[in-house]
Copies of this chain bind each other. A is one copy, B any other.
Amino acid sequence: MLTARTKLSRLPKRGSHDTTTIYPILDQGLVCHVSYVLNGQPFTIPTAYCRIDDTVYIHGSVGSHFFRELAKGIDVCVSVTMIDGLVLARSAFSHSVNYRSVVAFGKTQLVADEEERWLALERITEHLVPGRWADVRQPNTSEMKKTMVIAIPIEEASAKIRTGGVNDDPEDIDLPHWAGVVPLSTTYHAPIPDPNLREGVEVPGYLLK
């Protein structure tokens, strides 16, 4: 899978081409950024997604300009990034960020098979809220017609991860500046019920974890 596209030129100790590193990052990210080229110009769109085996799936409206481009079968770069902490060194230069990121490359494919489309939509929902799909009104024929599903089989990918503490130069260690890490995470707050919720409907257990 290694070519010039994903060869890690900088800080290779932070990089990996191993699916056991790449897949968990793809599975934990909330949204991905999909980049593509149109008339020689780069474009990026943030969107929900899921991963099934070595394929990333995204979905959108059949009326979307972006999805109509993707339906043509074009090269894309899918990027997923999570920021885990701010690394505050004694020197400005040694400041860093703890993160997990993946860039994956592949060519888009319009998914026509109804079973594959359905599975992708189920997994995209489950990716955001595990347990949700079985607890909603599932798509009807009209909604399926309005929805485009795009598969991106991953041809190449690389992960980059930084974890741990501050790496100041030895000569800076005794400077009188505070140094350390500020951990960051995404917080899921208490669910806010829709005002028109049918009486007696409780918050489902999968939202209370």
On whether the beta carbons of B64 and A10 are closer than 8 Å, the reply is yes
Collect the chain B residues with CB atoms within 8 Å of residue A72's CB: none
Report the stretch among A16-24, A50-58, A90-98 that lies at the interface: A90-98
CA of A36 to CA of B76 in the docked complex: distance in angstroms? 11
B33, B125, B176, B182: the one contacting A44 at CB < 8 Å is: B33
Collect the chain B residues with CB atoms within 8 Å of residue A35's CB: 33, 35, 42-44, 77
**A165 at the A/B interface (Cβ < 8 Å)?**
yes
On whether the beta carbons of B92 and A136 are closer than 8 Å, the reply is yes
Collect the chain B residues with CB atoms within 8 Å of residue A76's CB: 42
On whether the beta carbons of A196 and B180 are closer than 8 Å, the reply is no
On whether the beta carbons of B181 and A201 are closer than 8 Å, the reply is no
Collect the chain B residues with CB atoms within 8 Å of residue A129's CB: 86, 88, 182
On whether the beta carbons of B99 and A46 are closer than 8 Å, the reply is yes
Collect the chain B residues with CB atoms within 8 Å of residue A132's CB: 88, 95
How many subunits of this chain does the assembly comprise?
Answer: 2
In the complex, 22 of the A-B residue pairs with CB atoms within 8 angstroms, ordered by the A residue number, are: A10-B63, A10-B64, A30-B83, A31-B81, A31-B99, A35-B35, A35-B42, A44-B77, A46-B99, A46-B101, A48-B97, A86-B129, A91-B143, A92-B139, A93-B147, A137-B172, A173-B198, A181-B191, A183-B190, A183-B192, A184-B186, A187-B187
CA of A121 to CA of B190 in the docked complex: distance in angstroms? 38
CA of A35 to CA of B79 in the docked complex: distance in angstroms? 10
**A128 at the A/B interface (Cβ < 8 Å)?**
yes
